[in-house]
Amino acid sequence: MVIRKSRAEIEKMRRAGVIVGETLRRLRQLVEPGISTRELDAVAESSIRSAGAYPTFKGYRGFPASICASVNDEVVHGIPSARQLKNGDIIKIDCGATLDGYVGDAAITVAVGEISPEVRRLVDVTRESLLKAIEKMVAGNRLYDVSYAVQHYVEERGFSIVRDFCGHGIGQRMHEDPQVPNYGRPGTGPLLKEGWVLAIEPMVNQGGHEVNILSDGWTVRTRDGKFSSHFEHSIAVTDSGPQVLTAGEDGEIIL
């Protein structure tokens, strides 16, 4: 069952979301060759806690850190470690914050130094596909209109959609109904209603869509070893259109 949020609840979610947005903005600035994913995690945790929030991921089903840090062929759910980023890498940073009982969830892909034109294109297409999906977050559209917006944009450009993981409703829990796949038939699925808040998160592969979960029980990696990109924001359906609740303090959508 999809839990609709009142205006007041959406404002609470925005306050949680801003902390996520500002944390991602800070991390984006720190990404450079030589920094470890564990250092990024430490900055994220202190950024979230100093804003009075709790890092939602920490302890979630036993996850040990405040961010997921997934490099290159790692798709999502990478565990921060001593691994140092290198020139030409891409890192997907996924971050959650809980404030006053409400959760924000967002992710960005960041280039480390100079990346190849092919990888640049993968990242650009993934980012743009999220913006296409956000445009569909309007009452009266159907859920798979959102899904199809991602799929169509990505597949037209020769990339593939990860099928084993998807976006989700979000509110007092990080994962609520409905599931939001990044593929689907337009014009189908439940009607979007004001008060729905969805975390939309395209996961896009350079090669095939198949993924494996590593023996750490968390890290998801492409089966063919090619790169993957991921962006995510938490978005409300409102009477004034889509509202990105995980934007920065100044309203900038961190991408």
CB of 162 to Mg ion, least distance (A): 13
Q: What is the DSSP string of 106-157?
A: EEEEEE-SS--HHHHHHHHHHHHHHHHHHHT--BTBBHHHHHHHHHHHHHHT
Separation between Cα atoms, residue 184 and residue 73, nearest integer Å? 25
Tell me, rounded to whole angstroms, the distance of Cα 139 from its chain centroid: 22
Residue 63 or residue 157: which is nearer to Mg ion going by CB?
63
The stretch near Mg ion (CB under 5 A) out of 16-24, 53-61, 98-106, 119-127 is: 98-106
CB 186 within 8 A of CB 42: no
The stretch near Mg ion (CB under 5 A) out of 12-20, 37-45, 117-125, 197-205 is: 197-205
Binding residue (CB under 5 A) for Mg ion from 45, 105, 145, 176? 105
Bridge partners (DSSP) of residue 71 are: 91
Give the C-alpha distances (Å, rounded to integers) separating 215 from 78, 94, 212, 220, 229: 12, 20, 9, 10, 21
Told to check if 94 binds Mg ion by CB under 5 A, we report yes
Told to check if 199 binds Mg ion by CB under 5 A, we report yes
Number of residues that bind Mg ion (CB under 5 A): 5
CB of 107 to Mg ion, least distance (A): 5
Site mask for Mg ion (CB under 5 A), range 51-90, x = bound: ----------------------------------------
- List contacts with Mg ion (CB under 5 A): 94, 105, 107, 199, 232
